[in-house]
Amino acid sequence: MQFTLSVDRDRLIKTVLYFLLVTLAYAICGTRGMVWGPDMVTVNPMPFIIAAIAFYEGPYMGGGLGLYAGLLLSIQSHTHEGFEALVLAMLGILCGSAAVLFMRRTFASVMVCGLSFMAVRGIISSIYYQLFYGIPWQGIMVEYLKITFLSALAGALGWVIVSNIHRRFTPKGNY
């Protein structure tokens, strides 16, 4: 008895391109010392890219790539090991589920998911630094707003790339 593995070529190419996009975004924006703008702000487009992938491909692909992106970000993060992976995987699953159940696949929906994630993360970070280090929360929030703005710009570019990959490798009637 012979078993054959049936692989959809376009789906495989699309998945590999998504992995390469996440890896490239990490390499460009996650490298230590890579800062943008006059205020030396780091950029984190991963929540927006993961939300876009989850909106177009569903919660499983969003969760899987969120886990991969989080593992990459855990390499250079100061949080607990695996925390980034857990959080970005949950973001992918939640955004993919929201896309299936409630929202449409539009630029605005992806930005809302990414910005809400960045807002919650900024609030948690400002409270953490206020409580444990005594840094005023207003200063942390101003810095986080800069990071969120630049990350949203990079995330918009990520959405354009994800939507073009999806449009190119998805059969005409399925999107």
pLDDT at 49: 93
Give the tokens for residue 78.
């100061």
pLDDT at 65: 94
List Cα–Cα distances, 90 to 10, 12, 83, 119, 139, in angstroms: 26, 23, 11, 16, 28
pLDDT at 18: 95
Query: DSSP labels for 139-150?
Result: HHHHHHHHHHHH
The closest alpha carbon to 158, from 13, 71, 36, 54, belongs to: 54
The closest alpha carbon to 26, from 40, 44, 50, 14, belongs to: 44
Q: Write out pLDDT tens, residues 116-148.
A: 888 888 888 788 888 888 888 888 888 888 888
What domains does the chain contain, in order, with CATH numbers? 12-30+43-174 (1.10.1760.20)
The closest alpha carbon to 88, from 37, 130, 25, belongs to: 25
DSSP 122: H
Give the tokens for residue 92.
């992918």
List Cα–Cα distances, 64 to 4, 56, 141, in angstroms: 25, 14, 30
Which residues of the chain fall short of a pLDDT of 50?
A: none
pLDDT at 165: 93
The residue type of 104 is R
- Burial of residue 101 (CB within 10 Å: 0-12, 13-18, 19+) is exposed
Q: Dihedral of CA 132/84/63/118: which sign?
A: positive
Give the tokens for residue 67.
């886990």
pTM: 0.85
pLDDT at 29: 77
pLDDT at 9: 83
